Structure 1
Amino acid sequence: MEVVKATKEDIREWLVLAAEVEELFGPMVDDPLFIQTLERNIDEGRAFCMRENSDITGSPLLGGVMISTKHAPNYKIGWLAVSERARSKGVATMLMKHVLGQFQVPAEVSVVTFGEDTPTGLPARKLYEKFGFVPVKETVPHGPEGGSRQLFRLLLS
């Protein structure tokens, strides 16, 4: 398994992955803004994925992540998801290691993840904490499913 840059041929499988997590992230598959964002991130080399067969574009995704480098050295992890069949197998950890390696230090990396009141979001919170992200007390709008969200930050030096 390896992390690779996503290509246009992967879009169909990104949408399959997005459909799996819509319950937590809200509607994406039929959202033109999500699709435009995905296409732009792919075009600009800021979408990374792990495929079941890393050498074959368009093969089913184990996980994917999109990052924002627009305001470097302040970076954002905008979207990270792992397929249900690939959870607890190190996919999210590999994606995180890869994207953190994309940022030039010193840097600040932020991500909005699930609040403590969203039990299904606990693995995401633990992932970010494992990498040294700390919760920030800034107010973040609730997610589409009604659960709270929390901003996490990481300082890289």
Structure 2
Amino acid sequence: MNVVNATLEDLNGWLKLAAEVEYLFGPMVDDPNFVLALERNIHQNRAFCVREYDGSPGCSLLGGLLLSTSNAPSYKIGWLSVSAEARNKGVASALLNHVLTLVDIPSEIAVTTFGDDIPDGMPARRLYERFGFIPLEESIPNGPEGGSRQKFQLTIAHR
């Protein structure tokens, strides 16, 4: 399973992933701001994906991750999603492992994920915890579905 930089040919695959999780993240597919942000991240090599069967650009995506690098060495995972059929197969772990090799050391990586009152968000929380992310007590606005959100942070002092 290869993690690669996304290309504009992957845009439809990203939108298909987004459609699967809009009930958790809110409207994205028909949001021109989401599409523009996705295109900008692709152009800036901050959009990473795993393609089905390690295929060529434009193939179906198993998962995708957006990494904000504008405040390095403080980074932010802006979006991580895995297709329903690829969950629990290591796709999210592969994406996280990949971006962790790209960050400067020392660094901090933040992500806002689902609160513990969102059952469908528990796999994401467990994933970040397995990677050493620590939940913070920072107040975060609720998500579009009304559920809580929580910020997690990982501090990397050395490799």
Gaps of 5+ in 1: none
Provide the C-alpha distance between the structure 2 equivalents of 1:119 and 1:51, rounded to a whole number of angstroms.
27
- Residue 102 of structure 1: how far off its partner (Å): 1.1
TM-score, normalising length: structure 1 = 0.99
TM-score, normalising length: structure 2 = 0.97
Provide the C-alpha distance between the structure 2 equivalents of 1:145 and 1:75, rounded to a whole number of angstroms.
26
Q: What letter is aligned with 2:32?
A: P
Provide the C-alpha distance between the structure 1 equivalents of 2:115 and 2:54, rounded to a whole number of angstroms.
33
- Total equivalences in the alignment: 157
- Residue 97 of structure 1: how far off its partner (Å): 0.2
Provide the C-alpha distance between the structure 2 equivalents of 1:32 and 1:96, rounded to a whole number of angstroms.
27
Task: Compute the RMSD of aligned alpha carbons.
Answer: 0.6
**Runs of 4+ more than 4 Å apart:** none
Name 1:23's counterpart in structure 2.
23
Per-residue CA deviation, residues 82-103 of structure 1 (Å, 9 max, x unaligned), is: 0000000010000110011110
Name 1:68's counterpart in structure 2.
68
Per-residue CA deviation, residues 70-116 of structure 1 (Å, 9 max, x unaligned), is: 00010000000000000000100001100111101100100000001
The 5 A counterparts of 1:73-152 are 73-152=73-152
Name 2:3's counterpart in structure 1.
3
Provide the C-alpha distance between the structure 1 equivalents of 2:150 and 2:38, rounded to a whole number of angstroms.
23
Provide the C-alpha distance between the structure 1 equivalents of 2:13 and 2:96, rounded to a whole number of angstroms.
20
- Give aligned-pair identity as a percent: 60
